[in-house]
């Protein structure tokens, strides 16, 4: 069987597994905020309809300025991209023909982008039995032979967060060995306020690159907006290499207002705090193994039964789509990835997982 490469395609899963077309499915496979997008987005897009009849400003000046202001950076440290994906490919372009290190299991596109630009990849692994901690010692050993490290923090698909002290160590040693550390912060907005983004570190570590996505927090994956923050010399080079007009012209109407909408972020934090605590407790009590996630998704495994595929299919047959992990190196299908959703949807998931437990 060919497992699909990404989550967020409940219809495709239905088709693959022969679920009847009209079955109502709950999508736990995409890591999106179930509260969003903010209410005002629809009207704002409608009011700025005319922007689609014009070429985007090639420098995306308005949006880039508001991102820089929001992050407390200079405009020349920020590059707007077509989702986080374009940012990943662009940073790979910078290290073309070099050597990279990727810590798996993690987002698949780091490896794809490296192959696209002929970057040799060295794989190291977070291990479930070590609570998915960064394999720091092994990484430090390989550092002199590494041009760039791709990290995801919080990590997709584990939801775990690399410790600040480990990162500092990597960045400091990296400055000696000429190694750049790329940290994909696509899910950083879902972290509790006690774990801040690394934006402020950019002024300390010239070898740090941060990638961001506006897709997840604001539930606008269809609009494709992300950005990169890095030393201005790197941004300048990559701006020259970027495909022109790669971001659509509607973003100017949306992004500055999204960054201002602190109430929406508050509301999201309240929901997530409540629901993630609740789900982790209930699922642990039911005897499921979970990754120690800090965000809006987690890995799940049933310690009473070996076959995760069977659980995956059982959930699917009960109207719940999760994300298989067959194409995540270091997981190979031993877990499923599950999103934290609304209270009602989470209850439904719990109901089915209890049923599975009782029938197992």
Of 250, 230, 248, residue with least CA distance to 238: 230
Phi/psi at 217 (5° precision): -65, -40
Shortest Å, Cβ 88 to a second copy: 8
- Token output for 122: 């060295």
Contacts 24+ apart (CB under 8 A), 27-30: 27/321, 27/339, 28/320, 28/321, 28/322, 28/323, 28/338, 28/339, 28/341, 28/345, 28/349, 29/321, 29/322, 29/323, 29/337, 29/339, 30/221, 30/323, 30/339
Residue 61, classed as helix, strand or coil, is helix
Shortest Å, Cβ 348 to a second copy: 20
Shortest Å, Cβ 116 to a second copy: 6
Distance, CA of 89 to CA of 150 (rounded, Å): 12
By the 8 A CB rule, do 58 and 244 touch?
A: yes
Q: Which is nearer to a second copy, 173 or 261 (CB)?
A: 261
Q: Which is nearer to a second copy, 9 or 177 (CB)?
A: 9
Q: Which is nearer to a second copy, 167 or 253 (CB)?
A: 253
Phi/psi at 216 (5° precision): -80, -50
Shortest Å, Cβ 308 to a second copy: 23
Distance, CA of 129 to CA of 332 (rounded, Å): 15
Q: Which is nearer to a second copy, 6 or 355 (CB)?
A: 6
Distance, CA of 71 to CA of 78 (rounded, Å): 9
β-partners of residue 300 are 290, 336
Shortest Å, Cβ 332 to a second copy: 21
Phi/psi at 327 (5° precision): -100, 15
Of 81, 79, 116, 78, residue with least CA distance to 98: 116
Q: Which is nearer to a second copy, 62 or 99 (CB)?
A: 62
Shortest Å, Cβ 347 to a second copy: 22
Q: Which is nearer to a second copy, 294 or 323 (CB)?
A: 323
Shortest Å, Cβ 292 to a second copy: 26
Q: Which is nearer to a second copy, 197 or 246 (CB)?
A: 246
Shortest Å, Cβ 32 to a second copy: 7
Shortest Å, Cβ 164 to a second copy: 30
Q: Which is nearer to a second copy, 55 or 285 (CB)?
A: 55
Q: Which is nearer to a second copy, 171 or 228 (CB)?
A: 228
Shortest Å, Cβ 23 to a second copy: 18
- Token output for 261: 């909408």
Q: Which is nearer to a second copy, 167 or 251 (CB)?
A: 251
Phi/psi at 24 (5° precision): -75, 120
Binding site for a second copy (CB under 8 A): 5-6, 8-9, 12, 30, 32, 36-37, 41-42, 45-46, 49, 51-58, 82-83, 85-86, 89, 93, 109, 112, 116, 219-224, 241, 243-250
Distance, CA of 326 to CA of 188 (rounded, Å): 25
Our CA dihedral for 323, 223, 33, 159, rounded to 10 degrees, sits at 50
């Amino acid at each position: 069987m060919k497992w699909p490469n990404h989550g967020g395609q409940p219809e495709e899963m239905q088709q693959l597994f022969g679920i009847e077309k009209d079955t109502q499915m709950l999508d736990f496979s995409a890591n999106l905020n179930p509260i969003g997008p903010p209410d005002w987005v629809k009207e704002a897009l409608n009011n700025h309809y005319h922007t689609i009849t014009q070429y985007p400003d090639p420098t995306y000046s308005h949006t880039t300025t508001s991102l820089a202001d929001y992050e407390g950076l200079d405009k020349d440290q920020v590059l707007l991209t077509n989702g986080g994906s374009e940012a990943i490919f662009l940073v790979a372009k910078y290290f073309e023909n070099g050597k990279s290190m990727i810590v798996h299991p993690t987002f698949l596109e780091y490896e794809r982008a490296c192959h696209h630009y002929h970057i040799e990849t060295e794989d190291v692994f977070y291990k479930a039995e070590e609570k998915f901690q960064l394999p720091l010692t092994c990484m430090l050993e390989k550092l002199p032979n590494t041009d760039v490290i791709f990290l995801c923090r919080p990590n997709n698909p584990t939801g775990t967060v690399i410790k600040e002290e480990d990162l500092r160590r990597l960045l400091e040693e990296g400055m000696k060995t000429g190694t750049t550390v790329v940290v994909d912060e696509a899910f950083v907005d879902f972290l509790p306020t006690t774990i801040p983004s690394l934006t402020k570190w950019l002024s300390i570590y010239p070898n740090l690159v941060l990638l961001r996505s506006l897709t997840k927090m604001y539930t606008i994956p269809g609009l494709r907006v992300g950005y990169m923050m890095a030393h201005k010399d790197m941004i300048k080079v990559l701006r020259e290499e970027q495909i022109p007009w790669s971001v659509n012209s509607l973003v100017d109407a949306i992004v500055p207002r999204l960054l201002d909408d602190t109430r929406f972020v508050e509301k999201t934090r309240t929901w997530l705090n409540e629901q993630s605590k609740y789900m982790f407790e209930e699922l642990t009590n039911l005897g499921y193994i979970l990754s120690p996630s800090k965000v809006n998704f987690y890995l799940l495994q049933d310690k009473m039964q070996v076959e995760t595929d069977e659980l995956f299919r059982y959930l699917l047959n009960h109207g719940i789509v999760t994300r298989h992990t067959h194409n995540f190196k270091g997981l190979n299908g031993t877990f499923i990835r599950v999103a934290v959703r609304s209270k009602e949807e989470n209850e439904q998931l719990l109901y089915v997982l209890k049923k599975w437990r009782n029938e197992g």
